[in-house]
Structure 1
């Protein structure tokens, strides 16, 4: 993204934040737009500017920061539990296999530190993570959405819970629908939020089974486009644990609607991407966005992200406000 485009996005964001300060809208779950407008009025600008310093140097950080928020919300709700470090007595969510490829924790720590200097002990790590996910998407060309705040931080983080509750990249459509329904998310939310794969990368070891041993007979997944499978085999050799592949080849650093075009062409990287063609509702959405150039995707994504960001939140006197996002007080 060119520097002037980034500057424009930053200026637009500033105007949106200023406008939100005049709102005072509460949700049934206790979250509220403008929750910190009296106690920490510069909060969103601090988060945005600090994050901008990182994204402007490395756009590839947007995808893992978005993924981090997703992984947080699917385990114990959006309570910042994914940020907690393991101890000698507890293996935290970070230790779970699906979370071992997460990165960007240093970015959250830097933003938390900047916020603490201005507003000590007031802002939760869970709220910071929700705002970071939104701003990271915005900075790479994605939509803006309001983030109601007032979340509190959880005190529990367990690797086994993360392993059990996070949707798997190997999951079929039935399992994916069950995973999302368990969190109060619809089938539409499933196919919309899968669109986050328009940015980021996947590790070759995740896709290897589709390429080399799909049914245990040394075969290739027949749902994968043969030309794309051949391309991936050149990139991902058997037993390769280090190489990565772009989720959306050609534009993996830019948030756009191209994901649905590649899924429609049977070029989704993960089995969970391909699974979207195995259900009438998700398939219809994929076809619509691929044929209509994502005409409603940005708005749909904003709405689903706002909904996801309110899963099982802690508010009021629940939980705590962590001083350090990686450590329970």
Structure 2
């Protein structure tokens, strides 16, 4: 348990550092964006702000999720890790709409923008984002929160690169329309990313079966266990980052090895599917009485 907890505290520390560094840079970039009137910088700052929000929410959720279960909140507050991406995505969709609106408005007469400050400030952004992404790279494969943070930071580096290129174009070629064009592009990128996140986190919040799990395969696996004659009422859902719960009713008419069977099954569910919080109800009857009321369409 100790190592698990250590990785948790390391995770929250990584979130804290990355969040604060990004926040400082976002403030700097937005300041320069408004000072030079550059929408490209402002849009990049917005993209970074989306990240800082995401990181702050994820960091907050990671802290809240460690709260011990209570009599009322028997799962603790693990669901926080599923709700924070949802809040973040909703905010980003709103912001990116406002940004695109301003960009379109500016196309008719783009203001004069000094290219060099844009290039310098956005270059710092690339460094900040790549450094932060490197920090978050560990453990991002199985935790939706950290994966979201890592992918955001990589996308941010790419967006800062776009701002650098716009700065080069403005400085070198005098194309002032590159500024709103970049901003519009960034707005679209933010909206698309946020929408995908919105969909995924909404599904998790609504107790959908996690994407990595094939419910039919789980059912089949349980049905083939020794002595099991039927399986029904299977529910699989996400409790929080990396924790998957499941409930099911199994019909096992002749079960003398009850506890041994359950221990073995729980071990296998975790090993094969990553389901680490199963709750199984074993019934001895030839058929389960619930079954008569709500027969599934394919029958049992």
The verdict on a shared fold, with TM-score over 0.5 as the criterion, is: no
Q: Whose RCO is larger (CA < 8 A, sep 6+)?
A: 1
The structure having more radius of gyration, on CA atoms, is: 2
Q: With the length of structure 2 as denominator, give the TM-score of the two structures.
A: 0.30
